[in-house]
Structure 1
Amino acid sequence: MGRIMARKMRWLRPKFLQLLLLSVTFWSAQIASRCMAPAPLPRSSILRVAPVAALAPLPAEAALRELLAKRNARELTSPIFNIPPKQQVYPSWLEGSWHATSSFAGFEFPTLPRAQVMRQDDVPGFKKCSIIDFADVGKSPLEYNMSFVNQQGAVVEDLPYNLRSSVAAHLGGKGRITSVDYNPQNDPNRITIRLSATKNAERVELFVNARDSEQPSEEPDLFLSSEYRRQVTFSSRVEQGYNCNYQHFRTFQRLGPDKLRLNILTASYLDPLSPLYFDTFDKPAIVYAHELELTRAPTTPA
């Protein structure tokens, strides 16, 4: 994050999370409660860092749900992969256009001391656009649109649309996506993104190396998914691209026909070339949390 960002940070007193009980059990993560003080984030505009609400844990059932129910950031290890994953399919109730309000909800350093991690420049999320769909980690709140479409009877994410929308909101006019090359029929795991007017990124190559998902049979309004990515970012400011490895853990909860809640944990891993890699291996150096409220967008008359 560098000395400049360190000077811009705002310190908050430690605050332990309060358990919230809802009528519907819904997973969330316990972030930042064990830190003596929040770390500096790459945004001077952050006025506060809110802890993530830790909700009632779900009963252990399947691998992904059990992992998230532990609420232990150290357990969010990078996966072992060899077979290319299939395109992610979502529940039918996600189909449509949504208006999203996104809030940065907290962070945690699960494996290394905060000071060690802060000295590194190659941690995903420390530079703008290094986690492309949260192009400015810490900027909050934000509003943008999201879309999930039906393709050949399966609901999938409209990834080009969602990336354009989220990047525009995060960069706020200081950069935008000019094109997204994505052909899920040929390869659902490769996305090429081109940007303009950004300092850190002119082209981003995304490689999805692993996916997982689960929809508990007894809770049809709950859907969990994970996606492990390798992102290579190119800019004319550097001779070669820099690599970032991170994993999104998403939990969708349907609150009604026109309202959803989405919690996203992003586990950021060090690259094998990082001097601290052998101190973390497959464990994240930092985990970010975001909370999104999704409201169905009005249907545009034909």
Structure 2
Amino acid sequence: MRILIVFLAFIIILLANVSPSQAGELLEHIQTYPDWNKPLNLSQAQGDLVYPDWMEGTWNVTSILLDQVAPLAPEIVTPGFKNNQRYLNQPLHFQVRFQKQSSPIPNIFALASFISSQLPIVANREFNGYQIAKAYLGKDATISVKNDPNNPNRQITFLSQNNQLISTVTERQQERPKVQTFVATEITQQIFQRPSSIYINEVETTTNYHLIADNKIEAEQITAIYLSPKDPDYFKAINRPIALYKYQLNLSRNLNITNIK
């Protein structure tokens, strides 16, 4: 379960549905780390995630966990928080892929793209989810990743020993302060199902992407873990995060892949 919390940050790393009236809020949120006291109030997640055009392609990713904080320790600590220290400053490698939407789901951003005859760029969710899960959990522990065909915001990761991780994006927001900068936050409910038990929590992921060159992107990412209302310690936390993880992401375009399907 401890590793699921770590790799989930990357499964939900890219976001959409900008709110112009709140431009700058996400950048300010990042700058206040680790003094996060509650989840952001975001818009309801609708449609698929739309990315900047410069993110199209297949990317080799290096992820480094720079810092982790347990704000409510020692009273409340997430399962395995201490064991996650083994990832500190240790690079992990995987691939992610973004491509033109093949069967667009109508929303305000997709409509704008149709008018300009440009299909929006979206994530290849199953490819990305599987690559990331495999990097963190190992090939033998990860069986497959499937997306709900009727809801682009819902994904199931099938794991060994009949375990499943069900992830549903519920809220999101993004900002484009500059053409070469993309800032986004997404809140995801995660349900980890074992044959004998269920564990539920919420994950807030805020990421600040910078296009450095045509084939290079750098990003800083912060993941906050919140307890579910069903957790016995929920009222002790009072909507405060019980764990925070800060990552550095380096993406380099895979120039050997020319045909994305």
- Which protein is bigger by CA-based radius of gyration? 1
Which position in structure 1 is the counterpart of 2:124? Answer: 158
Tell me the distance in 2 between the aligned counterparts of 1:235 and 1:65.
Answer: 37
Deviates more, 1:290-299 or 1:138-147: 138-147
Q: Distance in 2 between matches of 1:90 and 1:290?
A: 20
Higher relative contact order (CA 8 A, sep 6+): 2
CA separation of 1:281 and 1:89: change in aligned 2, threshold 3 A = same
User: TM-score w.r.t. structure 2 length?
Assistant: 0.75
Q: Aligned partner of 2:153: which letter?
A: N
- The 8 Å contact of residues 148 and 158 in structure 1, kept in 2 or not, is answered as yes
Going from structure 1 to structure 2, the CA distance change for 1:170 and 1:83 (only over 3 Å counts) comes to closer
* TM-score (ref. length: structure 1): 0.66
Q: 1:64 aligns with which of 19, 26, 42?
A: 26
- The farther-off stretch of 144-153 and 268-277 is 268-277
Alignment of structure 1 residues 276-291 onto 2, 5 Å:
276-291=233-248
1:26 aligns with none
Partner residue in 2 for 1:91: 52
Instruction: Trace 1:19-98 onto structure 2 (pairs within 5 A).
Output: 61-75=23-37, 77-80=38-41, 83-98=44-59
Distance 1:147 1:301 in 2: 12
The answer to whether the aligner puts 1:145 opposite 2:106 as a matched pair is no
* Number of residue equivalences: 223
| Superposed CA RMSD | 2.8
Task: Call closer, same or farther: CA 1:172–1:63 in 2, change over 3 Å.
Answer: same
Q: Any idea what the Cα deviations from partners look like across 1:6-45, whole Å, max 9, x if unmatched? A: xxxxxxxxxxxxxxxxxxxxxxxxxxxxxxxxxxx87xxx
1:226 to 178, 185, 188: 185
CA distance 1:172–1:288, shift in 2 (3 Å): same
For 1:194, the equivalent position in structure 2 comes to 158
Which segments of 5 or more consecutive residues in structure 1 lack a partner in the other structure? 2-40, 43-59, 129-135
Find the residue that maps to 1:275 and give its secondary structure.
Answer: coil
Retained in 1: the 8 A contact 2:142–2:157? no
| Cα distance in 2 between the residues matched to 1:85 and 1:215 | 19
Equivalent-residue separation in structure 1 for 2:184 and 2:42 (angstroms) = 16
